[in-house]
Structure 1
Amino acid sequence: MTQLGEIQQAILNGESAAVGSLRVPESYRGVTVRADEVDMFEGLDSRDKDPRKSLHVDEVPVPELGPGEALVAVMASAINYNTVWTSIFEPIPTFKFLKKYGKLSPLAKRHDLPYHVVGSDLAGVVLRTGVGVHNWKPGDEVVAHCLNVELESPDGHNDTMLDTEQRIWGFETNFGGLAEIALVKANQLMPKPDHLTWEEAASPGLVNSTAYRQLVSRNGADMKQGDVVLIWGASGGLGSYATQYALNGGAIPVCVVSSPEKAAICRKLGAELIIDRNAEGYRFWKNDTEQDPKEWQRFGAKIRELTGGEDPDIVFEHPGRETFGASVYAARKGGTIVTCASTSGYMHQYDNRYLWMNLKRIIGSHFANYRESWEANRLIAKGLIHPTLSKTYPLEETGQAALDVHRNAHQGKVGVLALAPQEGLGVRDEEKRAKHLDAINAFRGA
């Protein structure tokens, strides 16, 4: 049996603590993009770029373990939109991030390689910890959030997301979670929720923490009870958590979806006010350069029809260019548009009269700090927020998993198995799981 096979077997036997006495292998399989292929999609529209062609499963060396870091045996991971961006080399190839990071220090130089092991989620077991790590030890079952910070500047010590050297692990750093072994900073680690399988535990990380900061945190919209919250893509990776936070926090979600099937998922979560934008035929752009304010007005009227005449206190934005004009228009006077992404394009256009004359605010929100990520994971562990995993692929089919997300052919989150040989493994508290099984499986098969 290989060294990695021995590690895998110990974990599968429920003997995670034994991994500390097992040798770490010299190499592992990771999902990579390659620097010599960054021009492979040149001339193609974004929608025509196929992650199955650019994402490879390669055997790569285990990186050197540095101070304050941990090597983790990855049982499962998940797809985020940043993996799609990486795979289609947009907006720029991520090798530019790695090269910049590599100039920071001799330790950071490890990340500047001709291949990039991607992935910003994981659930697994700590294999080794570096010098100075005392909160975690080999054998701990963990999940990881994706904030990588240096914290040598004063800027990040109030909110680590403001650190001058803040990066997203597995996107702006190497050795990510779509692999059999990952390298993280120890302050990325959090306890694995013990009632979840490996793939379920891996799936919330990035999107759950992002939605928490964006909606709940004082760094975001600071949502309160009774707020009307307009949620774009309410059944997707981000939106499915935003919908749960709105419902749990006593707010009133207005869920925007693109099909009856996605509407049904939102109702399963407990949402009642739903707009199927395709069924309603909204076309916010007349052409590539001109928006249609009459469609904003028709959209706003639909929201008021559902809410009994109220406009959204908060708009949960992430599509970007396609929807941003409508979002600024639709928010109530004094309302907040909080944005964390631009999956339909980065160059936003909106009518500023609706912003300045109505005292609205636009808040930028990017991932989450360790405290926010910890709180978001704590809510998962307590069964108050649930995974939205709909489908899981083996590591070898990560390209197809990324294509699903790229083409919006998915619901919730798409998982990827690494060292876990099959779904359904890793549950440590069956009694707690039984209490929440319906909610845990809400997106399955969707």
Structure 2
Amino acid sequence: MSLSQAVRAGAAPEELAAIEPPAEFLAAHLRIEDEKAFEGIAGDRDVRKTLHVGPVPLPELAPDEVLIAVMASSINYNTVWSATFEPMSTFGFLKAYGRQGGWATRHDRPFHVLGSDAAGVIVRVGNGVRRWRIGDHVMVNAACVEDQEASAQADGMLSENQLAWGFETNYGGLAEYTIARASQLIPKPAHLTWEEAAAVPACAGTAYRMLVSDRGARMKQGDVVLIWGASGGLGAYAVQLVKNGGGIAVGVVGSERKAEAARALGCDLVINRAEIGLGGDTGDDPAAVVEQGKRLGRLIRQGVGEDPHIAFDYVGRSTFGVSVFVVRRGGAVVTCGSSTGYQHRFDNRYLWMRLKRIIGSHVANLQEQVDCARLFGQGGIVPALTSLYPLKEVGEATRSVQLNEHIGKVGVLCLADRPGLGVTDPRRRARIGEDRLTLMRAFAPDSVRAR
């Protein structure tokens, strides 16, 4: 019996320890020879042209790392950036990391295994790992932190050498096996399936830090929170965190189907940007930004009675100026990414004269991830998983995110041969309710549900 077969069969830890790991494994990866594939192309950079699924060699395990048999993973927007080599080639990240020497040199390879989410079973532990054992069920935090830096003792995300796992490092989660530092591991909520758990850490943890953590916007009960892309992976968790924390969620989406999803998640007010002209790139037109901000502000006041305390913005260029304008005096814009572009322009008068704040946020530290996972265990937050693809179709899964055709989180089955596996606390699952836990699955595209 192979190690993969033993993991699928639920073998005991001692059985897993006795089976030799494979010399190579199946993984979604980029090839360095495709690095210039989109050079000179101003239009569509189709990720399916550069994403490959095939065998790669298994790396040696560092003392502070674990080898995980990945049961499921999910797509994040950084995989789109990687596969389009924008704004820069991720092979540059791997080369820079490799120059640190030592164990880091393993990451500088002519291939790059992608993926910043994973849920699976530990099958090997490095000799420096103390708190984890073979057989443990885990999720992986996308923040790969240098935990021997002094700053990391205050907040792991302040580490100068902090890297986005599976984006700035090799051997990410869109694969049958992955390596991660012990300091990245989160206990898997026992009531979730593998695919549900794999849809949690990167987006839910990021949203938690942005909204709830004392390093983010510090949302309090009654706060009105404007959430751009409220039906996306980050947005779906933001809506739930706002409602779970006693806030008022105002979601902005791009279609009526996405509006339905935002309402199902609990949004108090949903605004379809397409219907009211909140579309296009206004990044270089301050007057257009102000006009859109006034229009949006009126709608929010009509719907919930007051201006937002917080704007939750991961969209970037096309929304950021509006976010700065629309939050109330003394309010905050918290940002973690820029899927529509990194260069933001806004009228600074609305920031400084109205005493607003801009808060930069990135992934989450381990304590924040564990605290966030605890909310799933309580049933206050549920997975945002909608679509589910097999590993061999990772190109199609990533393409749906690239084109913004998806709702919620797009999952990928890796070693799990079918959905629904991995639940070890069925009583808790029954108590929370199957309908609630699978709420977002109804919003998968018909083509995916029919597969």
Partner Cα separation in structure 1 for residue 53 and residue 283 of structure 2: 40
Q: Which among 259, 264, 267 is matched to residue 268 of structure 1?
A: 264
Q: Is 1:248 paired with 2:244?
A: yes
1:434 deviates by 2.1
Is contact 2:382-2:437 (8 Å) kept? Answer: yes
Partner Cα separation in structure 1 for residue 309 and residue 301 of structure 2: 12
1:34 deviates by 1.0
Amino acid at match of 2:317: R
Determine the structure 1 residue equivalent to 2:27. Answer: 30
SS in 2 for 1:279: coil
Q: Which among 289, 296, 299 is matched to residue 296 of structure 2?
A: 299
Partner Cα separation in structure 2 for residue 445 and residue 218 of structure 1: 34
Determine the structure 2 residue equivalent to 1:160. Answer: 156
Partner Cα separation in structure 2 for residue 205 and residue 155 of structure 1: 22
Is contact 1:16-1:140 (8 Å) kept? Answer: no
Partner Cα separation in structure 2 for residue 428 and residue 363 of structure 1: 38
Partner Cα separation in structure 1 for residue 317 and residue 287 of structure 2: 10
Let me know the Cα RMSD of the aligned residues.
Answer: 1.4
Q: Deviations over 1:419-440 (max 9, x none)?
A: 1111111111222212331121
Partner Cα separation in structure 2 for residue 164 and residue 156 of structure 1: 9
SS in 2 for 1:124: strand
SS in 1 for 2:183: helix
Q: Is 1:124 paired with 2:120?
A: yes
The aligned length equals 440
Partner Cα separation in structure 2 for residue 251 and residue 51 of structure 1: 38
Is contact 1:319-1:342 (8 Å) kept? Answer: yes
Q: Is 1:400 paired with 2:396?
A: yes
Is contact 1:52-1:399 (8 Å) kept? Answer: yes
Amino acid at match of 2:393: E
1:8 deviates by 2.9
Is contact 2:283-2:344 (8 Å) kept? Answer: no
Change over 3 Å in CA distance of 1:391–1:285 after alignment to 2: closer
Determine the structure 2 residue equivalent to 1:363. Answer: 359
Is contact 2:284-2:345 (8 Å) kept? Answer: no
Determine the structure 2 residue equivalent to 1:420. Answer: 416
1:160 deviates by 0.9
SS in 1 for 2:274: helix
- Comparing 312-321 and 264-273, the one that deviates more: 264-273
Partner Cα separation in structure 2 for residue 54 and residue 291 of structure 1: 39
Partner Cα separation in structure 2 for residue 223 and residue 16 of structure 1: 43
1:155 deviates by 2.5
Is contact 1:16-1:125 (8 Å) kept? Answer: no
Gaps of 5+ in 2: 444-451
Determine the structure 2 residue equivalent to 1:82. Answer: 78
Q: Which among 195, 200, 205 is matched to residue 196 of structure 2?
A: 200
Equivalent residues in 2 for 1:222-371 (5 A)?
222-283=218-279, 285=281, 291-292=287-288, 293-308=290-305, 310-371=306-367
Determine the structure 2 residue equivalent to 1:445. Answer: 442
SS in 2 for 1:399: helix
- Comparing 336-345 and 155-164, the one that deviates more: 155-164
Equivalent residues in 2 for 1:78-227 (5 A)?
78-227=74-223
Determine the structure 2 residue equivalent to 1:11. Answer: 7
1:132 deviates by 1.4
1:156 deviates by 2.3
- Comparing 190-199 and 37-46, the one that deviates more: 37-46
SS in 2 for 1:165: coil
Partner Cα separation in structure 2 for residue 199 and residue 217 of structure 1: 26
1:43 deviates by 2.3
Q: Deviations over 1:376-419 (max 9, x none)?
A: 11212232211010011111110110000011110100000111
Partner Cα separation in structure 2 for residue 221 and residue 321 of structure 1: 20
1:142 deviates by 1.0
Change over 3 Å in CA distance of 1:289–1:273 after alignment to 2: closer
Change over 3 Å in CA distance of 1:27–1:286 after alignment to 2: closer
1:10 deviates by 2.4
Is contact 1:127-1:139 (8 Å) kept? Answer: yes
Change over 3 Å in CA distance of 1:19–1:364 after alignment to 2: same
Partner Cα separation in structure 2 for residue 225 and residue 126 of structure 1: 39
Q: Deviations over 1:76-116 (max 9, x none)?
A: 10000011110111110111111111111221000011110
Gaps of 5+ in 1: none
SS in 2 for 1:170: coil
Q: Percent sequence identity over matched residues?
A: 50
Is contact 1:12-1:426 (8 Å) kept? Answer: no
- Comparing 298-307 and 235-244, the one that deviates more: 298-307
Amino acid at match of 2:35: V
1:58 deviates by 2.0
Is contact 2:203-2:233 (8 Å) kept? Answer: yes
If the length of structure 1 is used for normalisation, what is the TM-score? Answer: 0.96
Is contact 2:283-2:317 (8 Å) kept? Answer: no
Divergent runs of 4+, >3 A: 283-291
Q: Is 1:61 paired with 2:50?
A: no
